[in-house]
Amino acid sequence: MTDRLRFADSGEAADLAAFLGRLVHYDRAAAVRLQAGGGALAVFGRPPSFEVLAIRTARLAEPAELDRTVSAGELLESVDESAGTAVVPAAVTGPPWAGVLPPRGGWREVPGLPAPEAIRQAVGAAVAEFRARDEALPDPHRTRAERDRIGREIWSRTLGDTELPLRAVHAAQSLGFLRPIRLTVPGPAPAPGAPAPVALLASGSWLRLRTPYGSIALRRPGGGLGALQVRPV
């Protein structure tokens, strides 16, 4: 059983810590499911309110075999960025979503996704609309139920010519997955046919927004996470 993970470099450890920190910011009791095979680690989390799964991968310096649901806060505390290591905490009772993960294969790219800058603009416009409509509510109607209704209306809209709801894009932005890509070392232009930095993928009933910093996955409309059978984890 793997109790210590050694990352490929300190940057991988720092990126994982940043992801865990954002999850804990939204939910101090957050859990994450860890799956490692060979030289890669996948970390799955579910930030509250967004109704999506967030996925962050990290390269490992040493092969590991692991499948465990743990406390996100305890894992975050164990990350040693300078050493590029983390100690895997003891397993916790997994929340229902931890037994309903996206498929590992069969993904195909779906057309219709706007350019990255247009995606960020769409999120910004939706946030601004929510704030404006919230501020315009008369005091008697300024309730949690009414704010939730406005939020559901805005974040259930789809992005561009896709089925991807804006709440998935909002989650990606909030978790730092949509930050601009900066090349620190000059290099050749991407080869023809190379994967797009940001892409929408589909596999069965699942959609996945993939970025260089992480992915957001969710069921297609009508196939919500809560309606699925939960397998043991």
CA distance to 74, 101, 130, 222, per residue, from 171 (Å): 23, 17, 15, 19
The topology (CATH level 3) of 4-99 is DNA Polymerase III; Chain A, domain 2 (3.10.150)
Local confidence band at 189 (pLDDT 50, 70, 90 cut-offs): very low
| Cα torsion through 152, 117, 200, 163, rounded to 10 | 30
In this prediction, residue 184 carries a pLDDT of 39
Give the residue among 150, 211, 200, 149 at the shortest CA–CA distance from 175: 211
- Number of residues written out for the chain: 233
| Cα torsion through 62, 182, 114, 16, rounded to 10 | 30
Would you list the domain boundaries of the chain?
4-99, 108-180+195-227
24-43 confidence digits (pLDDT tens): 999 999 999 999 998 999 99
90-140 confidence digits (pLDDT tens): 999 989 999 999 999 999 999 999 999 999 999 999 999 999 999 999 998
User: Mean pLDDT across the stretch 80-94?
Assistant: 95
Q: What is the pTM of this model?
A: 0.86
User: Mean pLDDT across the stretch 71-78?
Assistant: 98
Q: Minimum mean pLDDT among 61-70, 86-95, 156-165, 218-227: which range?
A: 218-227
